[in-house]
Amino acid sequence: MQRATAGDLAYRLLVRGLAGLAILILLAPVVIVVATSFTTSQTLRFPPPDLSLRWYRELFDPVRSGPIHAAAWNSVWVAGTATLAATVLTVLAALAVARVKRPSARILEAGFLSPLVLPTLSYGLAALMFFSVLGIRPSLNILIAGHLVVIAPFVFRTTLASLAGLDQTLLEASANLGASRFYGFRRITLPLIAPGILAGAFLAFVSSMDNVPVSLFLSNARTGMLPIRMWGMMESTLDVRVAAIAGVLIASTLALLLVVDRLTGLTRRMSA
């Protein structure tokens, strides 16, 4: 039915070429970092002259890499606690505004989502000033509070989307059959929105593990966080252990993604 003109052919070539370039640019850095982490060399030369687990042994050595381990556990603790707290508070807030078509609900929604677009670096400095004015010393607890605020929008967004797709007649039926509010929430709402909550919690956890702008200002030598320590290692000497940390982080995130994907169908829903 359609004749391909020379223009159409050029258009198709351009689109495919740029799409190929996009995929290359998206994947190449990840591949290169993982390959570099197995190098035998002292330098970050790519391709590596030979392969070994040298830098992973170095990284897992409790003496030589002690500060890195401490920073990694701090990051996991802060991300886990902040994600848990953010998820509980956010699910409640999402229940409060879902399906409400009033300006008050729109304002609350915009407020709860605002950390996504506001520069979190400005917030990091603001949080540092806030805690120091109150005379609160740097600790993992203030990092948890700071992270909670900037990761909550991830859970809020996915939970709200799940609630919007919820069939209201199920809840009405349950209420008409005499079920209490809480029973209806526990037996109907929660199971149906659980995949959305889990997907959001996963994104929140990953984004907390990765957070720089807030940790940059709220952490210190005692409460070191992994991304900040990695930045330090990149700034001073180009330590190959950074590549090994990258390898570990990529592997564990992918493993977590596969589990979450199994439970929530994240990639299936996104590609639908």
Give the shortest CB-41-to-other proteins separation in angstroms.
11
Angle in degrees, CA 194, 195, 197, rounded to 5: 60
Q: What tokens appear for 155 in the block?
A: 């859970």
Q: Which of 222, 224, 227 is nearest to 207 (CA)?
A: 227
Determine the Cα–Cα distance for residues 52 and 149; give it in Å rounded to an integer: 41
- Residue 63 or 128 with smaller CB distance to other proteins: 128
Minimum CB separation of residue 233 from other proteins in Å reads 9
Q: How far is the CB of 108 from other proteins (least distance, A)?
A: 6
Helices (H) and strands (E) in the chain, counts: 13, 0
Choose between 53 and 255: whose C-beta lies nearer to other proteins: 255
63 or 139: whose CB is closer to other proteins?
A: 139
Shortest Å, Cβ 38 to other proteins: 13
Asked whether the beta carbons of 195 and 162 are under 8 A apart, the reply is yes
Residue 189 and residue 171 in contact, taking contact as beta carbons nearer than 8 Å: yes
Q: How far is the CB of 125 from other proteins (least distance, A)?
A: 5
Coil/strand/helix, residue 51: strand
User: What is the closest distance, in whole angstroms, from the C-beta atom of residue 54 to other proteins in the complex?
Assistant: 17
Nearest to other proteins of 63, 177 (CB atom):
177
Q: Which is nearer to other proteins, 52 or 122 (CB)?
A: 122
**Distance from C-alpha of 226 to C-alpha of 248, rounded to nearest angstrom:** 12
Q: What angle do CA 82, 188, 159 make, to 5 degrees?
A: 35
* CA dist., res. 51 & res. 69, Å (int): 24
The least CB distance from residue 61 to other proteins, in Å, is 21
Using DSSP, state whether 164 is helix, strand or coil. helix
* Nearest to other proteins of 63, 203 (CB atom): 203
Between residues 63 and 169, which has the closer beta carbon with respect to other proteins?
Answer: 169
Contacts of 247 by beta carbon, 8 Å cutoff, 6+ apart:
33, 34, 37, 38, 56
Whether cis (ω within 30° of 0) applies to the bond prior to 138 is no
Task: Give the Cα separation of 159 and 161 in Å (integer).
Answer: 5
Q: Considering beta carbons, is residue 70 or 89 the nearer one to other proteins? A: 89
Instruction: Report, in Å, the least distance between residue 167 CB and other proteins.
Output: 12
